[in-house]
Amino acid sequence: MKEEKKLAVVNNKPLKARIFQYRWFYVMFLPVLIFILLFNYLPMIGYRYAFYEYKSALSIKWVGLDNFVRLLSTEAFWSAFINTLQLSIVKLLMNTGMAVIISLLLNEIKNLTFKKVTQTIIYLPHFMSWVVTASVFALILSISESGLVNNLLLNLGLINDGEQIYFLGTKATWRLSYYIINIWKDTGWGTILFLATLSGINPEIYEAATIDGASRFSSMRYITLPALSNTIITVLILNLAKIMNLFESVFVLINDNVIDVAQVLQTYTYDITFAAAPDFGFSTAVGLFRSLVACVLVLGCNYASKKVRNRGIV
């Protein structure tokens, strides 16, 4: 985090006096510190089990890097790793792209009431939990008679009775469904930042451009889009840092039929942890690997962010 030191009164008092002056602030920070230590730092000790074989509390034995060696040769792990990258990156690009397009179009709407109502509607799904989202779409995409999409296809004559597509249970359609559900849920919310940037553009620039004979689309191309580019990069970087955290959205939509295309690192960890004969050592190693990759990503994005916008993300 980049700290802009406030140009307040320069404090020249000796350290002890300053500590005394701020004594109440230390008391105020104490609960935060305790919570952070208890729930964020203390658990990290648990990572030591990544170097143990831990099949039950009674048999814990040191195996060094064996878990990691095993990890790198496990096919399911690599599949999960690649799925994590693919799902989150495609999702990120689709959501951001859609959000940019929607923001640009929404920015062109001059009727404020219509704009506000639209914004209210498109932000709405963000507040649904993933469980609710998954439930709603499981019902809509189902093959039963209440499945809206299949009924539509049926009535259009695109499929026959009995050929209903089980969208969330078929490998070929799961990812597409997943991306569309994500667009439904989060694209609207993603427009907030872009809209804020757009409202910050000086309208005089547009007026000048119009006087110079610029069409709506060339204004959009040469004024709006460049103004937005910085925000787009920011959003991409902020979200790229989080791609390893992909969990709940997949977890609520995954099922045994689509493991190959849907399993991500977090769900994989969950599965092997709650498997019939779990090896917590191995699961922890997967978790540690994930955290390390995430760590590298965050630091990389932070570096990129500093380069691009002179400001880190953490």
Contact pick of 94, 154, 236, 308 for other proteins (by CB under 8 A): 154
What value, to the nearest 5°, has the Cα angle with vertex 43 and ends 38 and 48?
145
- Cβ 116 to other proteins, closest distance in Å? 9
- Cβ 148 to other proteins, closest distance in Å? 6
Site for other proteins in 220-279 (CB under 8 A): 234-235, 238, 247-248, 251-252, 266, 269-270, 273
Neighbours of 160 (CB within 10 A): 9
Interaction between residue 146 and other proteins (CB under 8 A): yes
Contact pick of 32, 112, 276, 277 for other proteins (by CB under 8 A): 32
Interaction between residue 211 and other proteins (CB under 8 A): no
Site for other proteins in 64-93 (CB under 8 A): none
Quick note: the x/- pattern for other proteins over 269-298, rule CB under 8 A, is xx--x------x--xx--xx-xx--xx--x
- Cβ 49 to other proteins, closest distance in Å? 7
- Cβ 10 to other proteins, closest distance in Å? 9
Quick note: the x/- pattern for other proteins over 176-195, rule CB under 8 A, is --------x---xx--xx--
- Cβ 188 to other proteins, closest distance in Å? 7
Options 58-66, 68-76, 143-151, 221-229: segment touching other proteins (CB under 8 A): 143-151
Q: Tell me which long-range contacts 122-129 makes (C-beta under 8 A, separation of at least 24).
A: 122/187, 122/188, 122/189, 122/191, 123/188, 123/189, 123/192, 124/188, 125/184, 125/185, 125/186, 125/188, 125/189, 126/185, 126/186, 126/188, 126/189, 128/185
- Cβ 249 to other proteins, closest distance in Å? 10
d(CA 281, CA 67): 7
Q: Pseudo-torsion of CA 181, 183, 185, 187, nearest 10°?
A: 180
Closest Cα partner for 249 from 83, 113, 123? 83
d(CA 75, CA 78): 5
